[in-house]
Amino acid sequence: MAYTTIDKPTDYFRTKLYSGNNNAQNIAWDETDTNMQPDLLWIKSRAGTSVFDHVLGDSVRGGGKYSIPNKTDAEVSNNNVINTFNTNGFSVGGATFVSEGGRTYVSWGWKAETSFTNDASGTGIGSIDSTGSVNTDAGFSIVSYTGTGSAGTIKHGLSTAPKMIIQKNRDETQPWWTYVESIGAGGQLRLNGTNAAGSDGATLWNSTAPTSSVFSVGDNTGTNGSSDKCIAYCFADVKGYSKFGSYTGNGNADGIFVYTGFKPAFVMLKNTATTSSWEIFDSKRNTFNPTAKAVFADSAGAEYDYTNRLDLLSNGFKLRTTSDVNGSGNSIIYMAFASNPLVTSTGIPTTAR
Residues 124 and 62 in one domain: no
Q: What residues have CB less than 8 Å from 91, skipping those under 6 apart?
A: 24, 25, 26, 27, 63, 83, 84
Strand partners, 337: 242, 266
Query: Per residue of the chain (353 residues), what is the pLDDT tens digit?
Result: 567 889 899 999 999 999 999 999 999 998 888 899 999 999 999 986 678 999 999 999 999 999 999 999 999 999 999 999 999 999 999 999 999 998 999 999 999 999 999 999 999 999 999 999 999 999 999 999 999 999 999 999 999 999 999 999 999 999 999 999 999 999 999 999 999 999 999 999 999 999 999 999 999 999 999 999 999 999 999 999 999 999 999 999 999 999 999 999 999 999 999 999 999 999 999 999 999 999 999 999 999 999 999 999 999 999 999 999 999 999 999 999 999 876 666 556 666 66
Q: Is residue 299 part of a domain?
A: yes
Q: Is residue 2 part of a domain?
A: no
Residues 48 and 36 in one domain: yes
Q: For position 349, what pLDDT does the model report?
A: 62
Residues 133 and 229 in one domain: yes
Give the C-alpha separation, 205 to 215, whole Å: 8
Residues 214 and 118 in one domain: yes
Q: Is residue 49 part of a domain?
A: yes
Residues 252 and 231 in one domain: no
Q: In terms of Cα–Cα distance, which of 13, 22, 4, 49 is closest to 233? A: 13
Q: Is residue 316 part of a domain?
A: yes
Give the C-alpha separation, 101 to 116, whole Å: 39
Residues 260 and 218 in one domain: no
Out of 175, 200, 235, pick the residue that ends a domain: 235
Q: For position 193, what pLDDT does the model report?
A: 97
* Dihedral angle over CA of 214, 218, 219, 221, nearest 10: -70
Q: Is residue 73 part of a domain?
A: yes
Q: For position 32, what pLDDT does the model report?
A: 81
Q: What residues have CB less than 8 Å from 1, skipping those under 6 apart?
A: none
Domain that holds residue 254: 243-341
Residues 217 and 252 in one domain: no
Q: For position 312, what pLDDT does the model report?
A: 97
Q: Per DSSP, which regions of 139-188 are E strands?
A: 140-146, 152-155, 164-169, 177-180
Domains identified in the chain, total number: 3
Out of 59, 80, 110, pick the residue that ends a domain: 110
CATH at residue 144: 2.60.40
Give the C-alpha separation, 159 to 146, whole Å: 23
Q: In terms of Cα–Cα distance, which of 93, 125, 104, 114 is closest to 26? A: 93
Out of 78, 110, 142, pick the residue that ends a domain: 110
Q: For position 51, what pLDDT does the model report?
A: 80
Q: Is residue 280 part of a domain?
A: yes
Q: For position 41, what pLDDT does the model report?
A: 98
Residues 310 and 286 in one domain: yes
Q: What residues have CB less than 8 Å from 34, skipping those under 6 apart?
A: 28, 88, 89
Q: In terms of Cα–Cα distance, which of 346, 141, 147 is closest to 236? A: 141
